[in-house]
Structure 1
Amino acid sequence: MTPYVADPVYLNGHFLPLAEAGISPLDRGFLYGDGVYEVIPVYSRRTFRIDEHLNRLQATLDGIQLANPLTAEAWKTVILKLVESAPWEDQSIYLQVTRGADDKRDHAFPPISVTPTAFAFASPLVTTSADIRAKGVAAITVPDLRWSRCDLKVVSLLANVLARQQAVEQGCAEALLIRDGLMKEGAASNIFIVKDGVLIAPPKTHLMLPGITYDVILELAETHRQAHEVREISEAELRAADEVWMTSSTKEILAITRLDGQPVGTGQPGPYGEQMWQWYQDFKNTVMRKG
């Protein structure tokens, strides 16, 4: 066990210590990034929207033509065991499936006799500190150099890694991806903007990963009658926004207060983001933690 991964982990039908888990160097996840992943938040040891996460996992597997090695019920059994065994009340459950290990390196799919590799583990779910949330964070914009199936949650994330590293090297928390003059998402988050009191979210297309937190925020906007639109956001609109938020299960709703060295709006977290954060906390305590 490390401070970030609990024992036991799950690997190919077995629960075992992380130190004893191993895969073949010929595994296609290692050689090609040929695999998918999913991350499920857990609050007070209750998984949040597990069916939606497993449906997204299945959709990504279907998208890369990889058979799911476990049924939905079998995945739930694995996840429950990991949640029960981990020492944290709030957790993040990571699932990964690769196309397995053939006896050679070949771009073409291996024979169906090759068994997929299934791996899962629990980590602590750590959200943004109050100090950081009160100030907001800085971000940069970068060209979106990813492939055209960004809606698939695949493990080949090198373009995202390089974008995020570019942000880190400039002392920033996130890189916002711009493609054909439109803002798509962050390297590891979804992005919302507010302009003139209207919350605006980019649409779910093949160029954006459909986030579960993204869904929750739009549902909360609908519930609380917050004016909102789902449409493409131009780079110019992004730069002229009154508020910009990055969102994810760990970031929740986090204000971006500087973009490419310039202040967003007043340069401080705005009232709409603060209100959405409060609605999100209320939802977390009344729904997410209740199962």
Structure 2
Amino acid sequence: MQQKEHVFINGEFVPLEEAQISVTDRGLLYGDGFFTTMRAEKGDVFFLREHLDRLKSSCNAFKISFPEQLHDPLLFKRLLKINGLLDKIAAVKILITRGDKQGLGLPYGENPTYIVFAKQYHPPLDAYKNGWKLVSFCFPRSSPISCHKSLNYLYNMWAREYAVQRGADEAILIGADGYVKETSVGTILFQKEGKWFTPEGDDLLPSITLKMLSKILEKKGIAIERKKTKLEDLVSSDQVLVLNSLIGAVPVREIDNHILPTFDHEFATQCRTWLWSTTSVW
């Protein structure tokens, strides 16, 4: 008999088809909440502490009580076990909303809705080998909440669809100030004249993958510098990577129909190996 998928919702492990939230939950009505997505292997979630800290910081900034129960790593291991994922690569997602709270503005969410999902994840092996084609998204981003992983994610999904409709894999997001921010699903890392850079800005999501990879590379004598980045900086780069918590690092082969001079999937592979080492879990 096929194993039933479970979620952890508001303190309970529940079969997915039985999980319920209120139709007046503010996450549903307004996208009033936050989420984070993590990678798990062999029952361990990578960089769990860092993801929880970022998620809690967003909740604090917008007056949503953070469920302390989420600090227990055994909760995640149990959900992975229930879903038969202890021997598989999994995507673990935490979602928190303000809950069923009436009123406009941002009333304090003392009883948030919180859900943890765990599903099998299939890494994009073709992308690792052949790289991604990127296109620049022509509609500028200018939201002060871009540095939070908000449930208001429609802009990012719109950008991704824009890329797909043009035969590309991913979209580059550019701000109203004309500077490159990130992609619809990840952080940009690029190399130019032997140095590594990442876009700088106050409206960027604090990337957990970039943070951890920077620490690893620093120990190996490779520094990553933050700089305000124009699209032409990427196009004229020697090589470009896209980072996020599930894919790790994917090499880029093309930007706006411009073939990059260096396509080094071996460096991206090495970055993933470093990231997914057993010493990198909490």
Superposition TM-score, scaled by structure 1 size? 0.87
Distance 2:46 2:105 in 1: 36
- One-letter code aligned to 2:198: A
Distance apart, 1:282 and its partner CA: 4.1
Identical-pair percentage = 26
Aligned length: 277
Contact 1:63 1:152 in 2 (8 A): no
What is the match of residue 80 of structure 2?
A: 83
What is the match of residue 275 of structure 1?
A: 267
Unpaired stretches in structure 1, ≥5 consecutive residues:
none
What is the match of residue 195 of structure 1?
A: 192
SS at match of 1:127: coil
Output one character per residue of 1:239-265: Cα deviation in whole Å (capped at 9) or x when no partner. Answer: 211111111122221111111122122
What is the match of residue 225 of structure 2?
A: 229
What is the match of residue 277 of structure 2?
A: 285
- One-letter code aligned to 2:94: L
Distance apart, 1:276 and its partner CA: 4.4
Output one character per residue of 1:124-182: Cα deviation in whole Å (capped at 9) or x when no partner. Answer: 232220x3322211111114325122111111111111111101111211111112221
Output one character per residue of 1:85-135: Cα deviation in whole Å (capped at 9) or x when no partner. Answer: 222232221111111114x6x4234576x7211111101232220x33222
Distance 2:247 2:45 in 1: 17
Distance apart, 1:227 and its partner CA: 4.6
What is the match of residue 204 of structure 2?
A: 208
Q: How does 1:47-196 map to 2 (within 5 A)?
A: 47-73=45-71, 75-88=72-85, 89-102=88-101, 106-110=103-107, 115-129=111-125, 131-142=126-137, 143-179=139-175, 180-196=177-193
Residues 189 and 283 of structure 1, relative CA distance in 2, 3 Å threshold? closer
SS at match of 2:182: strand
Distance apart, 1:214 and its partner CA: 0.9
Distance 1:227 1:69 in 2: 36
Distance apart, 1:10 and its partner CA: 1.2
- One-letter code aligned to 1:97: I
Distance 2:272 2:36 in 1: 22
- One-letter code aligned to 1:188: V
- One-letter code aligned to 2:66: N
Distance 2:22 2:151 in 1: 17
Distance 1:30 1:253 in 2: 32
Q: Cα RMSD over matched residues?
A: 2.3
Distance 1:42 1:7 in 2: 16
Distance 2:164 2:237 in 1: 23
Distance 1:286 1:95 in 2: 22
Contact 1:217 1:276 in 2 (8 A): no
Superposition TM-score, scaled by structure 2 size? 0.89
What is the match of residue 34 of structure 1?
A: 32
Contact 1:29 1:98 in 2 (8 A): yes
Contact 2:38 2:48 in 1 (8 A): yes
Unpaired stretches in structure 2, ≥5 consecutive residues:
none
What is the match of residue 15 of structure 1?
A: 13
Distance 1:61 1:227 in 2: 31
Contact 2:248 2:271 in 1 (8 A): no
Distance 1:238 1:215 in 2: 20
Distance 2:129 2:92 in 1: 28
Contact 1:100 1:115 in 2 (8 A): yes
